[in-house]
Structure 1
Amino acid sequence: METLYKIAAIFFDIIFVLLVSYFTFVFGLRLYWKFKSKRMRGQELPILEGEFLRLKRGKGVIYFHAPNCRPCKFIDPVIKKLSKELKKVAFIKVNIAEKPELARKFGILATPSIIITKDGHIEEVLMGPVTEGTLREKLK
Structure 2
Amino acid sequence: MTISETLMHVAAVFFDIVFVIFVTYIVFVIGLRVYWNFKSKRMKGKELPVLEGEFARLKKGKGVIYFYAPNCRPCKMVEPVIKKLSKEFKKVHFVRVNVAENPEMARKFGILATPAVIVTKDGKMEDVLLGPVTEGTLRSKL
**C-alpha distance in structure 2 between counterparts of 1:39 and 1:32, whole Å:** 11
Q: Does 1:115 align with 2:118?
A: yes
Equivalent in 9, 13, 26 of residue 10 of structure 1 = 13
Q: Does 1:91 align with 2:110?
A: no
Q: How far apart are residue 71 of structure 1 and its match?
A: 1.1
Aligned to 2:46: 43
**C-alpha distance in structure 2 between counterparts of 1:49 and 1:79, whole Å:** 22
Q: How far apart are residue 47 of structure 1 and its match?
A: 0.6
**C-alpha distance in structure 1 between counterparts of 2:44 and 2:81, whole Å:** 23
Q: Does 1:135 align with 2:138?
A: yes
Task: Please list every run of 5 or more consecutive structure 2 residues that lacks an aligned counterpart in the other structure.
Answer: none
In the alignment of these two chains, the number of paired residues is 139
Q: How far apart are residue 57 of structure 1 and its match?
A: 0.4
The 4+ residue runs of structure 1 with deviation greater than 4 A are none
Equivalent in 74, 79, 82 of residue 76 of structure 1 = 79
| Identity within the alignment, % | 73
- TM-score calculated relative to the size of structure 1: 0.97
Q: How far apart are residue 90 of structure 1 and its match?
A: 0.4
- RMSD of Structure 2 on Structure 1 (CA): 0.7
Q: Deviations over 1:74-97 (max 9, x none)?
A: 111111111111111000001111
What SS is found at the alignment partner of 1:27? helix
Task: Please list every run of 5 or more consecutive structure 1 residues that lacks an aligned counterpart in the other structure.
Answer: none
What SS is found at the alignment partner of 2:71? coil
**C-alpha distance in structure 1 between counterparts of 2:67 and 2:31, whole Å:** 22
